[in-house]
Structure 1
Amino acid sequence: MLVLLLLSFTIPAFAVNQLPGKGVKVQPARATWNTGYFQEALVREGLKELGYKVEKPKDLTNPLFYQSLALGDLDYWTNGWFPVHNGQLPKNFYEKAEKVGYVVKAGGLQGYLVSKKEVDKFNIKSLADFKRPEVKAAFDANGDGKADLTACPAGWGCEGTIAHHMKVYGLEDDINLIKAAYSASMADALARYNAGKPAFFYTWAPNWTVFKFKPGKDVMWINVPEINPTEAQKPMVDRLTVSGVDGAVSDPIKLGFVVADIRIVANKNFLAKNPAAKEFFKVFTLPLGDINEQNTKMQNGEKSQKDIERHVKEWIKKNQSTWDAWLAAARNAA
């Protein structure tokens, strides 16, 4: 009789711990930029393995996501960039939602990269070096007397920051901004680099560009001449300089763009009812290089949802012990 009583308690408890999310439907969202798709798909797979019924993510702009999350229409997303997204949060947002864990701490980088060969040859440390005639000549592909910079297409948020840099550092007569479609412009820059010519471009990470152009080997992150923030950057001025960046010409380096932590953001009610999901969010983290590598596969044509799901399975297989530890932590939390 005692054995039967023990079994009646231990077997269901074991089953619940293995699938703590069983019977719970979850609605995630996903950012509109495809460099964030990989981590979304990985987290979704983790929740599925914990028993949750995870719906197809809704692709939303940042402000619409944060508003929907606060209203309780969504449960989470993996694409929070902070402090960059602070200004896009609705009033009293943190009464309804919270940030959990770090997908990549200080992983949201933006800045200017220059081919290492030219950095070494001309001793390039910052944008100010592009005022020097010999540097301008080396990076002048169209013969207009200016260095060519692969920049942001019109309408992108980074366009305004780059224009600010050109103005406040007096570079408008020294640097020519290429604002064509970014992927095509970067593909052209890569082809030129592979042909032995200089490279000078704006980019961000995670991104395929910093997998194809490896910082420290192929290219180097350079400084802005001094910290001179835009109005929007002023509350985050301490995040315009960062230490420990691989392939930077100095440490710390003045990137001139806000360095962001990439984080999961979730609805508080959902987290309170689902401690297993919350713990998985807490422990989930990715090397920036792994995201860059997957983004490169997408850039090379493997960009369907089926491709992304395959990338997820390949990553899990390669990192099985880490993955199993995350799932175990989540089950223990339940």
Structure 2
Amino acid sequence: MAVLGAAALVLSACGTIEDDDTIAIARATWDSGHMQAAIYAQLLTELGYSVTDPAEHTLDPNGFYPALGNGQYDLWANGWFPIHDIYLEAERVTGQSVELPIEPVGYQVRSGALQGYMIDKATADSMGITSMHQLADPSVAEVFDHDGDGLADLIGCNEGWGCNSVIESHIADLDWGGNVEQVVGDYGDLVAGVQASIAAGEPALFYAWTPNWTFEALRPGVDAVWLESSAIEDDEGLTLVEGLDGCAADPCNLGWAVSSIRAVAHEDLLADHPDIRRLLEVVTIPLADIAVQNALMAGAERDYSEEQIVADAAKWIADNRATVDGWLETARG
């Protein structure tokens, strides 16, 4: 934490919101959120602020939330809730029981982002697999054991992502977990491997979320299917999704709460700049628009430049100019 504190002092000396209204904005390591970060940066620029380039401050949640709490950054657009609730707990983030001066603001996407487990459709059809609970049977789990250690290889996500921790908790606490291990690495590379496996007719078990470019490459109900899985805690039915393509049940219990994507900001920024709070409160970006841009990245085989991402953000703003002008008018009060 001493390193983060020192970094915060350096940034303050160079100029952040305290002295020249420069907003220090970061972005997440998952590229499906990069256009949204660029949109927020461009909106803040239109509001009259200087903004750091999000591409130069790409962090996973384990790195971002402590840095935000220490004042090293002012905000990002890539908060996923409730999966990121754990990062609002001060003791987890800083090791101290002191309330963090950070706050989720607005709903970029409200209750529309899905997460869960999928397998290739061929294996699902041939073995009648519709639920993660079937992996409690070792003979089912071994179908997905690619390294010969007796455990199904569940293609997971990056170390430091919230989903990584949730998958580990599922493995520890749910009935199928004793027969499963999470494969950790760069998510894009891992899913590219899943694509290759499915194309070769090999079984694949993997974690998936939307919005994400992978759903252009692995189409639900065509290439892969969702598996049901009970949540550890879900008293309000937050893991149930109706009419989900690629799930055998309706509603489909994914075992993961349907998420909201939200900006998360330092409280000092929000208190000192109420116009920024008002802007963050009203910005929304349709999932369909995010999916279109993610598909462009997928079509480029993940060789997508930062300039293209910035251009995509600018085009989205231009295409939604009347709405954006309304947001800016609201922000200016």
TM-score by length of 1: 0.71
Distance of aligned partners of 1:160 and 1:131 in 2 relative to their CA distance in 1, 3 Å threshold: same
Do 2:75 and 2:264's aligned partners in 1 also have CA atoms closer than 8 Å? yes
1:209 aligned onto 2:214 = yes
1:277 aligned onto 2:276 = yes
Q: What is aligned with 2:256?
A: 257
Partner residue of 2:241 out of 243, 246, 251: 243
Q: What is aligned with 1:312?
A: 313
Deviation at 1:220, TM superposition (A): 2.3
Deviation at 1:77, TM superposition (A): 1.5
Distance of aligned partners of 1:243 and 1:39 in 2 relative to their CA distance in 1, 3 Å threshold: same
**Partner AA of 2:264 in structure 1:** V
CA distance in 1, matches of 2:24, 2:156: 36
Q: What is aligned with 1:193?
A: 198
Deviation at 1:42, TM superposition (A): 0.8
Deviation at 1:80, TM superposition (A): 1.7
- Single out whichever of 38-47 and 103-112 deviates more from structure 2: 103-112
Deviation at 1:309, TM superposition (A): 0.9
- Per the alignment, in what secondary structure is the counterpart of residue 256 of structure 1? coil
1:52 aligned onto 2:49 = yes
Do 2:132 and 2:227's aligned partners in 1 also have CA atoms closer than 8 Å? yes
Deviation at 1:259, TM superposition (A): 3.7
Q: What is aligned with 1:223?
A: 228
Do 2:156 and 2:184's aligned partners in 1 also have CA atoms closer than 8 Å? yes
1:26 aligned onto 2:33 = no
Matches within 5 A, 1:7-156: 24-57=21-54, 58-62=57-61, 65-70=64-69, 72-89=71-88, 90=90, 91-93=98-100, 96-130=101-135, 149-152=154-157
Do 1:150 and 1:185's aligned partners in 2 also have CA atoms closer than 8 Å? yes
Distance of aligned partners of 1:145 and 1:102 in 2 relative to their CA distance in 1, 3 Å threshold: same
Deviation at 1:102, TM superposition (A): 0.8
Partner residue of 1:330 out of 305, 321, 328: 328
Matches within 5 A, 1:150-189: 150-152=155-157, 158-159=163-164, 161-166=166-171, 168-170=174-176, 172-173=178-179, 178-179=183-184, 182-189=187-194
Q: What is aligned with 2:93?
A: none
Distance of aligned partners of 1:273 and 1:195 in 2 relative to their CA distance in 1, 3 Å threshold: same
**Larger Rg, first or second structure (1 or 2):** 1
Distance of aligned partners of 1:213 and 1:30 in 2 relative to their CA distance in 1, 3 Å threshold: same
**Partner AA of 2:99 in structure 1:** N
Percent identity between the two aligned chains = 35
CA distance in 1, matches of 2:68, 2:121: 44
Deviation at 1:126, TM superposition (A): 0.5
Which segments of 5 or more consecutive residues in structure 1 lack a partner in the other structure?
Answer: 1-22
**Partner AA of 1:310 in structure 2:** A
Do 1:237 and 1:258's aligned partners in 2 also have CA atoms closer than 8 Å? no
Distance of aligned partners of 1:63 and 1:327 in 2 relative to their CA distance in 1, 3 Å threshold: farther
**Partner AA of 2:279 in structure 1:** F
1:86-128 Cα offsets, whole Å, 9 max, x none, are 33233333xx443221111234433111234544454432112
CA distance in 2, matches of 1:283, 1:323: 14
Deviation at 1:32, TM superposition (A): 3.7
CA distance in 2, matches of 1:211, 1:151: 19
Do 1:127 and 1:222's aligned partners in 2 also have CA atoms closer than 8 Å? yes
**Partner AA of 1:28 in structure 2:** I
TM-score by length of 2: 0.71
- Per the alignment, in what secondary structure is the counterpart of residue 114 of structure 2? strand
